[in-house]
Structure 1
Amino acid sequence: MKNYILDTNVLLHDPQAIFKFSDNTVILPLTVIEEIDRFKKDQSETGRNARQISRMIDGFRAQAKLVEGVSLENGGILKVAIYKQDFLQKLPPELRNDQGDNRILAVAQDLQNNLPQGTVFFVTKDINLRIKADTIGLCAEDYQSDKVPIEDLYTGASEIMVSQAQVDQFYEQGALSIEGDFFANQGLTLIDETNSSHTAIGRYDSINKQIVNLIKVPKEGVWGIYPRNREQQFALDLLLNDDIQLVSLVGKAGTGKTLLAIAAGLVKTADENSYTRLLVSRPVYPMGRDLGFLPGDIEDKLAPWMQPIFDNVELLLSSYDEGGNRKRGYRELIDMGLMEIEPLTYIRGRSIPKQYMIVDEAQNLTPHEIKTIITRAGEGTKIVLTGDPYQIDNPYVDSASNGLSFSVERLKGQEITGHMTLSKGERSLLAELAANLL
Structure 2
Amino acid sequence: MPLPKLPTKPATLLLAKDYPQASGANPVPFPETAAAPKKTARGAKAAAVSEPALAPAASPAAAPIMAEATAPAAKKTARKGAVASVPPVAEVAAAKPASKPVTYPAPAAPAAAPVEAKAPRGKVTPIKAEAPQQPKHKMGEVNKSSTSRHADEAGVTKLFVLDTNVLMHDPTSLFRFEEHDVYLPMMTLEELDNHKKGMSEVARNARQVSRTLDALVANTDDDAIEEGILLSKLGNKDAKGRLFFQTKLQIADLPEGLPQGKADNQILAVVRSLEGEQEGRAVVLVSKDINMRIKARALGLPAEDYFNDHVLEDTDLLYSGIVQLPDDFWNKHGKDMESWSENKNGQSTTYYRVTGPFVPSLLVNQFVYLEPNNGEASFYGQVKQLNGKTAVLRVLRDFSHNKNNVWGVTARNREQNFALNLLMDPECDFVTLLGQAGTGKTLLALASGLAQVLETKLYNEIIVTRVTVPVGEDIGFLPGTEEEKMGPWMGAFDDNLEVLNKSDNDAGEWGRAATQDLIRSRIKIKSLNFMRGRTFVNKFLIIDEAQNLTPKQMKTLVTRAGPGTKILCLGNIAQIDTPYLTEGSSGLTYVVDRFKGWSHSGHVTLARGERSRLADHASDVL
Aligned to 1:219: 403
Q: Which moved more, 1:222-231 or 1:198-207?
A: 198-207
Aligned to 2:180: 24
One of 160, 169, 172 as aligned partner of 2:325 = 160
Q: With structure 2 as the length reference, what TM-score do the two structures score?
A: 0.65
Aligned partner of 2:382: which letter?
R
SS of 1:242 mapped into structure 2:
coil
Gaps of 5+ in 2: 1-156, 342-348
Aligned to 2:258: 95
Aligned to 1:177: 353
Aligned to 2:272: 109
Aligned partner of 2:415: which letter?
E
Is the Cα contact below 8 Å between 1:318 and 1:327 reproduced in 2? no
Give the C-alpha shift of residue 82 in structure 1. Answer: 5.2
Q: Which moved more, 1:22-31 or 1:213-222?
A: 213-222
Alignment of 1:2-81 (within 5 A): 2-64=158-220, 66=225, 68-73=227-232, 74=237, 75-81=240-246
Aligned partner of 2:288: which letter?
K
Q: With structure 1 as the length reference, what TM-score do the two structures score?
A: 0.91
Task: Tell me, yes or no, if structure 1 residue 422 matches structure 2 residue 617.
Answer: no
Q: Structure 2 CA distance, aligned partners of 1:433 and 1:380? A: 40
Give the C-alpha shift of residue 39 in structure 1. Answer: 2.5
Aligned partner of 1:332: which letter?
L
Return closer, same or farther for 1:57/1:275 CA change in 2, 3 Å cut-off.
same
Higher relative contact order, structure no. (Cα contacts within 8 Å, ≥ 6 residues apart)? 1
Q: Which moved more, 1:44-53 or 1:240-249?
A: 44-53
Alignment of 1:38-437 (within 5 A): 38-64=194-220, 66=225, 68-73=227-232, 74=237, 75-81=240-246, 84=249, 86-87=251-252, 90-117=253-280, 119-147=282-310, 148=312, 149-161=314-326, 162-163=329-330, 174-179=350-355, 180=359, 181-192=361-372, 195=374, 198-206=377-385, 209-217=391-399, 219=403, 221-320=405-504, 325-326=511-512, 329-335=515-521, 338-437=522-621
SS of 1:33 mapped into structure 2:
helix
Q: Structure 2 CA distance, aligned partners of 1:197 and 1:109? A: 69
Give the C-alpha shift of residue 311 in structure 1. Answer: 2.1
SS of 2:370 mapped into structure 1:
strand
SS of 1:357 mapped into structure 2:
strand
Q: Which moved more, 1:67-76 or 1:416-425?
A: 67-76
Give the C-alpha shift of residue 93 in structure 1. Answer: 3.2
Q: Structure 1 CA distance, aligned partners of 2:338 and 2:379? A: 10
Q: Structure 2 CA distance, aligned partners of 1:170 and 1:136? A: 68
Give the C-alpha shift of residue 157 in structure 1. Answer: 0.3
Q: Which moved more, 1:203-212 or 1:408-417?
A: 203-212
Q: Structure 1 CA distance, aligned partners of 2:254 and 2:339? A: 69
Structure showing greater radius of gyration is 2
Return closer, same or farther for 1:386/1:196 CA change in 2, 3 Å cut-off.
farther
Return closer, same or farther for 1:307/1:36 CA change in 2, 3 Å cut-off.
farther
Return closer, same or farther for 1:207/1:242 CA change in 2, 3 Å cut-off.
farther
Is the Cα contact below 8 Å between 2:398 and 2:417 reproduced in 1? no
Q: Structure 1 CA distance, aligned partners of 2:339 and 2:496? A: 35
SS of 2:417 mapped into structure 1:
helix
Q: What value does the CA root-mean-square deviation take over the aligned residues?
A: 2.6
Aligned partner of 2:393: which letter?
I
Q: Structure 2 CA distance, aligned partners of 1:255 and 1:37? A: 46
Gaps of 5+ in 1: none
Aligned partner of 1:153: which letter?
L
Q: Structure 2 CA distance, aligned partners of 1:419 and 1:299? A: 30
Aligned-pair identity in percent equals 41
Aligned to 2:124: none
Aligned length: 433
Aligned partner of 2:512: which letter?
R
More strand by percentage:
1
Is the Cα contact below 8 Å between 1:31 and 1:83 reproduced in 2? no
1:102-136 C-alpha deviation (Å, 9 max, x unpaired) = 22222222223322445222222222222222222
Q: Which moved more, 1:397-406 or 1:127-136?
A: 127-136
SS of 1:249 mapped into structure 2:
strand
Return closer, same or farther for 1:104/1:187 CA change in 2, 3 Å cut-off.
same
Q: Structure 2 CA distance, aligned partners of 1:290 and 1:34? A: 31
Q: Which moved more, 1:45-54 or 1:106-115?
A: 106-115
Aligned partner of 1:163: which letter?
W
Give the C-alpha shift of residue 51 in structure 1. Answer: 1.6
Q: Which moved more, 1:133-142 or 1:398-407?
A: 133-142
Aligned partner of 1:29: which letter?
P
Give the C-alpha shift of residue 215 in structure 1. Answer: 3.8
Is the Cα contact below 8 Å between 2:482 and 2:527 reproduced in 1? no
Is the Cα contact below 8 Å between 1:317 and 1:329 reproduced in 2? yes
Give the C-alpha shift of residue 137 in structure 1. Answer: 1.8
Return closer, same or farther for 1:185/1:99 CA change in 2, 3 Å cut-off.
same
Give the C-alpha shift of residue 247 in structure 1. Answer: 1.0
Return closer, same or farther for 1:212/1:304 CA change in 2, 3 Å cut-off.
same
Is the Cα contact below 8 Å between 2:435 and 2:606 reproduced in 1? yes
Q: Structure 2 CA distance, aligned partners of 1:177 and 1:379? A: 31
Aligned partner of 1:28: which letter?
L
